[in-house]
Chain A
């Protein structure tokens, strides 16, 4: 199974287990910048780690520091393997834009309607640099 997604921010292809968030998240205050663990106790996926996962985001909320948290994850090597967003998020993706400007390698970020997320649940997913999303297990 595979589908083609629009590229939001170009980056390195990545693969890993799919982590599909069932609710929007605030990266600042919601994700630990040191480890990538979801720390928001009110979030349904609290306790899971986004590091190395293909992260499916239905939406983002809250703080304008989401970009700083994502850039810190990139710099420390704890970023998701790839990001799949329902819509372009100017705050979060800024973390990737600035990291690229700093010369650090960033994961690819693509756009896919959130209705299409569930098909990847529980699967090992690969996102290519050209936006091709495929199941690899």
Chain B
């Protein structure tokens, strides 16, 4: 099947400006994917403004020089700098200037200065069933699974190209028949107290991603909606350990009122019955640190912390001073709230390092330490910290992270899975 562009689309692609470049990138991707046509999109979330090297900056500036502007609402994922000045980013020149130029170029293209990987908690929530083009693996999976809007996993550069052209290739998760689950992940054998714990969702997410790869699964056996922050943690972990773009949870997510509906009335190809032992293994895999007698830093907030998660942090800290800093990553949508009633200053006075607009695994913020140990409650941080920061990871719940940061060495509460 070959790609059929409208005469308008062909006309735009034949030009020499930024809009032409964007349309050609969308069309070439559509050809690669075997999409028959392009479809209009309602919004975009752009992951491409994070500096990985000069090539990305040069691309964004080429679009700006070509007079390109986004045609739909487009929020920005994190950048490499903390523009709010909360934390110190150790990015040196000339990379620092190139990262700033990149962020500036995306602003000039008309993108919103949201700088968060949780745009869905910063007021960008596309309606159920609408087609959008979102980038950043956790944002994609949340948008599809929890909001029920339709997006593929748009890679860096295609996201902005879609936003400028206002179009996306018609394939994959934009089509209803490709959103059905083919696999069941049954967690009913796990103790209810484990499923009610915070740690359950990042751990199950990590297990899910590893088990399903790029298939679509429906999780069954969840009695109670775990809440939006738990679903956020599940999706982020699943999209780190697998190529997950969409999951369903029976009775919880909007396209799965029950398992049969999520499966489209067809028998599941695979049923995975999750045992407590599988959970223990998945949890153990999140840690890479061999020695567990010390920690050098704690990082939370991947995806970016919500206000409710800051509430939990404050509750657990209970005014105690930290021996090891907690890096709390969030977006300016939450920072504004924290600032308005003095909570940010109070947290910082106790040893919390607030990180805004960016996070500790995408840019150098943690001290440069060869054998550092990072403790985290985030399945996504656990997955990416070793490769991106050089720190070994110790995985624990938020409560464990806080207690360990207060005492200055790792402590774990016993929890039965």
Please list the residues of chain A having a beta carbon within 8 angstroms of any beta carbon in chain B: 8-9, 24, 26, 28-30, 33-34, 39-42, 59-69, 71-72, 74-76, 88, 90-95, 97-99, 101-102, 104
Contacts and interface: CB of A to CB of B under 8 A. Distances in A.
Given A64-B47, A72-B52, A41 B387 contact: yes
B33 A98 contact: no
Interface SS majority for chain B: helix
A91 B239 CA distance: 14
A88 B33 contact: yes
Given A63-B137, A102-B62, A33 B52 contact: yes
B55 A62 contact: no
Interface of B: 21, 24-25, 28-29, 32-33, 47-48, 50, 52-56, 58-59, 62, 135-137, 140, 152-159, 209, 213-214, 239-243, 285, 288, 361, 383-384, 386-388
Nearest to B56: A68
A61 B242 contact: yes
Given A41-B288, A93-B32, A69 B52 contact: yes
Contacts of B384: 29, 63
21 contacts: A24-B243, A28-B52, A40-B387, A41-B288, A42-B285, A61-B214, A62-B240, A62-B241, A62-B242, A63-B137, A67-B158, A68-B55, A71-B59, A72-B54, A72-B56, A88-B32, A90-B33, A91-B154, A92-B155, A94-B156, A95-B156
Contacts of A104: 55
B136 A72 contact: no
B79 to A, nearest CB: 12
Contacts of A39: 387-388
A74 B135 CA distance: 21
A97 B152 contact: no
Given A71-B55, A71-B56, A94-B158, A62 B239 contact: yes
Nearest to B385: A29
Contacts of A95: 155-157
A97 B29 CA distance: 8
Nearest to A90: B33
Contact of B158 (A59, A69, A88, A90): A90
A100 to B, nearest CB: 8
Contacts of A26: 240
| The 4 residue pairs across chains A and B that have the minimum distance between CB atoms | A91-B155, A72-B53, A75-B55, A67-B155
Contacts of B32: 8-9, 88, 90, 93, 97
B59 A98 contact: yes
A115 to B, nearest CB: 17
B29 A64 contact: no
B402 to A, nearest CB: 26
Contacts of A60: 243
A91 to B, nearest CB: 3
Contact of A61 (B50, B152, B158, B243): B243
